[in-house]
Structure 1
Amino acid sequence: MRNSVNIADYVGQYVALHKAGQNLFGICPFHSENTPSFSVNESKQIFKCFSCGRGGNVFSFVMDYDKLSFPEAVAKVAEFAHIPLNVDVGPTHQDDPATAQQKKLLQAVADLGHHILVNTESGTAALAYLTKRGLTRQTLDHFAIGYLPASKTLLKTFLTNQHYDYNTLRDSGLFVESQAGELFDRFNDRVMFPLRNEHGDVVGFSGRVLANGDAQAKYLNSPETALFEKSRVLFNLDEAAREFKTSGGAILFEGFMDVIAAYQAGVPNGIASMGTSLTATQVGIIAHHTRQVTVCYDGDSAGQHATARALELLAAQPQLKVSVVVLPAGQDPDDFIQSHEAGAFAKQVQSTLTPISFQLHYLALDRDLTNDQAKLDYIQAALKVIAGEGDAVAQSVYLSQLAERTGVAVTALQQSLPAARPQPAAAPPVPDDQAPAPVAQAAPANKYVRAERTLLALAWRDPEIARALHQRQIQFPDAGYQALFDAWLAYAKASAAPTTAGYLDTLAPELVAQATDVAMMTVPEQSEAAIADMFDLLAHSDVQAKLRAVKQQLHSAQQLGDKQAVSELATQYLELTRQAKQMTQNSGGQS
């Protein structure tokens, strides 16, 4: 199945790749960087980051990127390639018993709330409220929206009857504990919106009070629990992520009601933070699922300020392509949807600004551009933003926008444009075998290491070299390279058509990075003499290693007074010394 998927096509969903020499390069999705050091080799179907050291085949990428097991990664790649597996790979993630119990409890509460809303007389008023707001039954079912009546013990009674114990109830976040230790339902007379993690598990709730009043908060969220961290949860991510590839990435809203309204208006790829400002953690989670984000916050002043803050956080993920929707007349998404015909919102979110265009708009907020000083201050601030754009064509577009907004000629603005702050120059593409070594591994610092790496790479593509190394019983000085060679012999023996990508699947996880590092090398054809010299180098290194070991053993035997061991080890030492001397003479005196 691996051979049916081009690793560049799969990785390209998350990393913008460009051709440089024999490989494709991009910004590494596993760590923060500005200069591309992430490389994909299509001929070998492997990837490697020369900065953080991660590497492997397409399954390795999925396992690292999505934190999945090997069978789960295979299933995800199969889904991408539309290849039926016809096997059950098991659950997508494993939970400890306490966590599994909490998830089961929260799902039961979500099911109960939805049942009460749509099937019971107790939910009639809440259902009427939601229907009046324009939500259809299909939308209510899709988001599992529910209702919990005005009772302080309904949930406690229901869950106790389901055999959940006191500690499990208390840890769920669904109850308020009195000083005496008694539990009371936290959510009373509230419409319930289940909050799910990226895997689709219910981890908490947001409850909207049905009867408006000053005595209680309009919205009440579950408190922080072992499962629910507001800074990590993005509403609807589990469902929206399925739409990102076909819908142009994620649309980021301020609140979950915007997400729900957008879904009903034909925009299924909406997500939202949970009633708080966007966090860096949430941005990182978004970047793990898509390369494109459109920010669609409220059109009022507060919403535009929130957009500016969100753009600062999103800029920290250079692999994200970010755009902004500015809604007219200060409307929020729900207002816009309610006041326009069907399909209008889906068209509106396609009309976007770049981050710089938005900044030009944002900087003009709350400024009186009929006032000369205010206009000059605005122009100065806007020109600083435009100067940061390195593309001359884009700069020209933004200068035209600024000219239209201020009435100042483009030529005058161009002359006043400050010099752009020097940006770090992008590193020129480097040959594969000269790329920076990963942090976790030493660079090939001497001829022995270079010989090991070269012979290992040659052995993977030439069975005769692998056979000769094995028959001569030459040992690689580095234990890791020896383990890789032994694993290759076993893999090649069992495989009719061995490939580098297939070989990586057979390795222990701690060997994959080192193997990928060698596999990414560009090794030219070697003459027979050059190969013979490398064989001799490894043999010489092996003898030197044995000499050091025997010398240490001989010293220990002498200290212990073991005459027989001293005699035997001395003989071995003399023989190894002779071999080493002979090798030195054969190599022309070089060591």
Structure 2
Amino acid sequence: MISKTTIDRVYEESQVEEVIGDFVQLKKSGSNYKGLSPFTQERTPSFMVSPAKQIWKDFSSGKGGNAVAFLMEHEHFTYPEAIKYLAKKYNIEIEETEQSDEHKEAANERESMYLVNEYAKEYFKKIMLETNQGQAIGLSYFKERGFTAETIEKFDLGYSPDEWEAFTKTALDKGYQLEFLDKTGLTIVKEAEGDKPKRTFDRFKGRVMFPIHSMSGRVLGFGGRILTSDKKAAKYLNSPESEVYHKSKVLYGIYHAKQAIAKEDNCYLVEGYTDVIQFYQSGIENTVASSGTALTPEQIRLINRLTKNITVLFDGDTAGMRASLRGIDLILEQGLNVRICTFPDGEDPDSFAKSNTEEDLKEYLTENAQDFIRFKASLLVAEAKDDPVKKAGLIRDMVASIAKIPDTIKQEVYVKECSAIMDISEVVLFSTLAQLNAKESADQAKRKKQNPQAFEVVKQPTTPRVKVDQLFELERKIMSMLLLYGKEEEDFEDFVLKQNEFEELELVPETHRAKVFEKIYLDLQEDEVEFTNEHFQQLYYTIISKLNEDEEFKLENIINELDPEQSQHVTNILMDDDKYALARWDTKDIFVKSKKENLVKELSQTILSLRCYLVASKIEELKQQTKAEEVKNPMDVLQDVMDYHKLQQTLSKKLDRHIAVFNVGMGR
């Protein structure tokens, strides 16, 4: 178990904007930061981070919380793993007791697979650096590629011995279960058949090893390269799909590249492991690879969290480039900007980076990266040559790519550029674009007709019919002011009934000074009001106690002490106002006032509104009782109704006075 001292230090030193900034590109928005949601597919930012409150909120998915909650949601960490990750990030020494066997057995399947992968990574590194075979074969290979000791350590490179069961036997001896060695794909298990007993083999026998990390640095799987000239064996071998490793959702090098991608606002996309490593060592750290697989929408969205700009790097193989153009269309479809850079014949990113200085490499990339439309045109024109039929097909191919772009302004710009390059009128190109868009709309309508239910899920949320729960909203507003301004001391004006000189009752204002939490507590106590929402009930007494006892009340401390469910509710309340910043109303000369500017009047008005609501509910309840046959004394009930009506009238007068004053204050 991790000690409370360590946990407290982690919460105290970690900064939510720094933690999330490692995974999502954040941009300053007033006192907060905003970015694209890492949990949904969106093109307009709905993700907000508050450094002052040390919390985040994703308005598209409804998720929210502190830095630990983000890591648990985004990286699927357990609570202890999230704490350990933050401790490592902020160089905090972890104090913990030895895990018992019971705790080890309680670890779920995913965590067991992560543990196995982590052990395998360390095993392969140790074999390469500390054994004769590892040094002679694995280490020599990496040094021949020009990788330094620092680079080898940075990317956790290793070597799997050329023996059938070396890794498997060692892992089993260390207490790792064969079930998880099998599920991660590190071990191949052949079940018993007839007289043949069950057998096990190391999947990566005799290969140099490239661990594949998640964006947070967890080992998801491995890539292994064989060094012999065995024609029957695949040159590169990847871990199979598993609970923790999904090839289509992973980019090699993203863990090491993420900060550089966000800083440079550009991502270089290459094909292989060594391309990434060589570029990183050469100073181009914002480089990732699709690991030899066709680029997928999931991989593109991973980059989209960090930047809108991708530069795809190709070697001089024209056939390979032609096949990769499909990936470029996918990037365009996701709304990203694409540039392409090719290397001279016989060169690839790895070899070119190795034979050039950092300065020359950067200069080459800058001078030779070209917009996708020019690249695609030059590539396809060479294929079409003087064949008019091929040229017509080429133009249609170009327009089809432009049609993938969701931004209509960009579409028009590219059409004009394509017109100049291809020497064809813009009218023809726009006509072709319109035909393609019309066909796509028709195809979509056809798909909808064939399977209408598939479209209902998308359609329903756009026009929700939600009945506003007035009581919930009032209680929520009170909780919001309690959390945000509980310690603030203000002058509150109440209206009390007093007799005037004519012995008539009238509402007279009285002012008294109190802290916000005291005002809320005393008013609710006076009316014997209990929160009806069970989450608010629990939070209310927790917050009141903290405000009363703790002179140095801090929101982030409260959030860190709550259980995840309560923490989520608090985050939703605290970040409610911040969602307006996402719309950037200030750019439209519309300025949304904060609650604090009218805190006193709004709080008094809200409590009075709550009282009015509760009295109206009580009157309705009594009216229903009078209709019931079992009521013994209906006149008594009617008298109660009349009394509550008088109270309702008094409260309404108070509320009207508050609203009048409130509106005057707003108009100043």
TM-score normalized by the length of structure 1: 0.71
Equivalent position amino acid for 2:523 in 1: R
Equivalent position amino acid for 1:580 in 2: Y
Q: Is the Cα–Cα contact under 8 Å of residues 299 and 328 in structure 1 kept in the other structure?
A: yes
- Compare relative contact order (CA 8 Å, sep 6+) and give the higher one, 1 or 2: 1
Over 3 Å counting, the alpha-carbon distance change for 1:300 and 1:242 in structure 2 is same
Matches within 5 A, 1:369-408: 369-375=385-391, 377-379=393-395, 381-382=397-398, 399=416, 403=420, 405-406=421-422, 408=423
| CA deviations over 1:427-451 (Å, ceiling 9, x no partner) | xxxxxxxxxxx99x99783765665
Number of the residue aligned with 2:468: 445
| CA deviations over 1:319-373 (Å, ceiling 9, x no partner) | x665443334474212433554565334444457576446644772663244445
Number of the residue aligned with 2:41: 32
> Does 2:427 match 1:418?
no
TM-score normalized by the length of structure 2: 0.64
Point out the structure with the larger helix share. 2
Q: Is the Cα–Cα contact under 8 Å of residues 196 and 238 in structure 1 kept in the other structure?
A: yes
Equivalent position amino acid for 1:14 in 2: V
Equivalent position amino acid for 1:308 in 2: L
> Does 2:586 match 1:586?
no
For structure 1, which segment, 267-276 or 128-137, has the greater mean C-alpha deviation from structure 2 after superposition?
Answer: 128-137
Over 3 Å counting, the alpha-carbon distance change for 1:227 and 1:483 in structure 2 is closer
Equivalent position amino acid for 2:647 in 1: M
> Does 2:361 match 1:345?
yes
Pick from 96, 107, 110 the counterpart of residue 107 of structure 2.
96
How far apart are the structure 1 equivalents of 2:113 and 2:94? 28
Matches within 5 A, 1:252-291: 252-288=269-305
Matches within 5 A, 1:45-194: 48-55=57-64, 64-66=73-75, 96=107, 103=114, 105-123=116-134, 124-125=136-137, 127-162=139-174, 164=176, 166-167=178-179, 169-173=181-185, 174-177=187-190, 179=193, 180=196, 181-194=198-211
Number of the residue aligned with 2:569: 511
Number of the residue aligned with 1:535: 607
Matches within 5 A, 1:417-566: 418=430, 445=468, 451-452=474-475, 455-459=478-482, 460-461=484-485, 463=489, 464=514, 466-473=517-524, 474=527, 475=529, 478-479=532-533, 480=535, 485-496=540-551, 505=560, 508-516=566-574, 518-520=576-578, 522-523=594-595, 534-545=606-617
Shift in Å, 1:108: 5.0
| CA deviations over 1:98-146 (Å, ceiling 9, x no partner) | 6666555555554454455455443435555554444445444444444
Q: Is the Cα–Cα contact under 8 Å of residues 381 and 391 in structure 2 kept in the other structure?
A: no
Equivalent position amino acid for 2:343 in 1: L
How far apart are the structure 1 equivalents of 2:141 and 2:93? 45
Does the residue aligned with 1:511 lie in a helix, a strand or coil? helix
> Does 2:222 match 1:205?
yes
> Does 2:385 match 1:327?
no
Equivalent position amino acid for 1:177 in 2: K
Shift in Å, 1:269: 3.6
RMSD: 5.3
| CA deviations over 1:257-281 (Å, ceiling 9, x no partner) | 3223323433334332333223333
Identity of aligned residues (%): 24
How far apart are the structure 2 equivalents of 1:85 and 1:527? 40
Over 3 Å counting, the alpha-carbon distance change for 1:285 and 1:491 in structure 2 is farther
| CA deviations over 1:499-518 (Å, ceiling 9, x no partner) | 76666556513413541355
Over 3 Å counting, the alpha-carbon distance change for 1:313 and 1:556 in structure 2 is farther
Shift in Å, 1:256: 1.3
Q: Is the Cα–Cα contact under 8 Å of residues 168 and 202 in structure 2 kept in the other structure?
A: yes
Does the residue aligned with 1:211 lie in a helix, a strand or coil? coil
How far apart are the structure 1 equivalents of 2:165 and 2:348? 37
Q: Is the Cα–Cα contact under 8 Å of residues 71 and 89 in structure 1 kept in the other structure?
A: no
Shift in Å, 1:31: 1.9
Does the residue aligned with 1:234 lie in a helix, a strand or coil? coil
Over 3 Å counting, the alpha-carbon distance change for 1:236 and 1:13 in structure 2 is closer
Q: Is the Cα–Cα contact under 8 Å of residues 47 and 516 in structure 1 kept in the other structure?
A: no
Q: Is the Cα–Cα contact under 8 Å of residues 311 and 369 in structure 2 kept in the other structure?
A: no
Shift in Å, 1:255: 1.8
Shift in Å, 1:588: 6.3
> Does 2:377 match 1:368?
no
How far apart are the structure 2 equivalents of 1:500 and 1:164? 42
Equivalent position amino acid for 1:511 in 2: H
How far apart are the structure 2 equivalents of 1:165 and 1:71? 22
How far apart are the structure 2 equivalents of 1:42 and 1:115? 41
Q: Is the Cα–Cα contact under 8 Å of residues 500 and 519 in structure 1 kept in the other structure?
A: no
How far apart are the structure 1 equivalents of 2:97 and 2:314? 39
How far apart are the structure 2 equivalents of 1:342 and 1:534? 63
How far apart are the structure 2 equivalents of 1:128 and 1:40? 47
Number of the residue aligned with 1:563: none
Q: Which ranges of structure 1 fall in alignment gaps of 5 or more residues?
A: 423-437, 559-565
